[in-house]
């Protein structure tokens, strides 16, 4: 998938030259002549990076930066201006603009700034994904038991139990699907990653569930929610209020 770059400049020559430079680098480029047109584009299309003229009739570049922070907070922004001043540069950086280049910027400057901005965006998105993964891996029950699926630990009131990868994966399946009845075969497929007969699945699951429940005995509210469904499999009951 190509990277989407939006050029915002009221000068036709600038739009054309910037577009040519970036298209030769393999980017998907859209160019518009005003901040207002840029806002409309942001409302309808994904944008990874923007190159914005600071001085434009109507909505200025800094005004557009403020709107972009709401519409496309992950988009990196490079400001271009022929009217460079320390005040405008400081204001641009204060608004978390990636870079600030004076016109006429050379093709090498533009390409280098774009590449650096996209690298910065990739790092931020990776950090966000990692933070979300950590958040999703942490659960706390109503009675204060904390389950860390990433570290495969269950803890409460000074008690800590470490789970094996299989035990942690089984508990993860249960926690993410409260109230759902799973057959033995479904659980083996989800936890171990392979399909077996119902009889083989029972033989695989019995000791695994037994070990997990044994470790959870010190956390009664959690232990009691793992229920065997006769002739079918298991269900992790919804938490009681």
Residue 47 has a CB neighbour count (10 Å cut-off) of 21
State pTM to two decimals.
0.55
Burial annotation 106-136 (CB, 10 A radius, 16+ → b, else e): eeeebbebbeebbeebeeeeeeeeeeeeeee
Residue 147 has a CB neighbour count (10 Å cut-off) of 24
- Alpha carbon 104 to its chain's center: 36
Inter-residue contact 32 to 74 (CB < 8 Å): no
Exposure on the CB side of residue 30, measured as CA atoms within 13 A: 19
pLDDT recorded at residue 94: 63
pLDDT less than 70: residues of the chain: 1, 83-96, 128-136, 241
pLDDT recorded at residue 181: 93
**11 phi and psi, to 5 degrees?**
-95, 120
pLDDT recorded at residue 41: 93
Instruction: Return d(Cα 27, Cα 88) in angstroms, integer.
Output: 28
pLDDT recorded at residue 16: 94
In the chain, CATH 3.40.50.2300 sits at 4-135
127's tokens: 């950090």
pLDDT recorded at residue 126: 78
Instruction: Return d(Cα 186, Cα 126) in angstroms, integer.
Output: 32
Instruction: Return d(Cα 79, Cα 153) in angstroms, integer.
Output: 48
Which CATH superfamily hosts domain 4-135? Answer: Response regulator (3.40.50.2300)
pLDDT recorded at residue 17: 93
What CATH fold (topology level) applies to the domain 141-236? Arc Repressor Mutant, subunit A (1.10.10)
In the chain, CATH 1.10.10.10 sits at 141-236
State how beta strands 159-162 and 153-156 pair.
antiparallel
In this predicted model, what pLDDT tens digit does every residue of 168-218 receive, in sequence order? 989 989 988 999 999 999 998 888 887 888 889 899 999 999 999 999 999
């Amino acid at each position: 998938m190509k990277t989407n770059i939006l050029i915002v400049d009221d000068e036709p020559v600038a739009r054309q030259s910037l577009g040519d430079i970036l298209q030769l680098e393999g980017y998907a480029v859209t160019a518009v002549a005003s901040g207002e047109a840029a806002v409309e584009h942001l409302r309808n299309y994904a944008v990874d990076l923007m190159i914005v003229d600071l001085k434009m009739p109507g909505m200025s570049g800094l005004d557009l930066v403020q709107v972009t922070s709401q519409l496309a907070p992950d988009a990196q922004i490079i400001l271009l201006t022929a009217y460079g001043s320390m005040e405008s540069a400081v204001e641009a950086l204060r608004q978390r603009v990636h870079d600030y280049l004076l016109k006429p910027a050379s093709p090498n400057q533009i390409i280098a700034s774009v590449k650096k901005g996209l690298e910065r965006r990739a790092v931020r998105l990776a950090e966000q994904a990692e933070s979300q993964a950590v958040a999703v891996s942490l659960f706390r029950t109503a009675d204060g038991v904390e389950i860390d699926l990433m570290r495969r630990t269950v803890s409460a009131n000074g008690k800590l139990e470490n789970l094996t990868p299989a035990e942690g994966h089984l508990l993860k399946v249960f926690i993410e699907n409260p109230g759902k009845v799973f057959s033995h075969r479904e659980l083996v497929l989800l936890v171990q990653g392979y399909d077996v007969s119902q009889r083989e699945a029972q033989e695989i699951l019995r000791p695994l569930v037994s070990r997990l429940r044994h470790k959870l005995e010190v956390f009664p509210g959690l232990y009691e929610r793992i229920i065997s469904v006769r002739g079918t499999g298991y269900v992790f009951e919804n938490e009681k209020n």
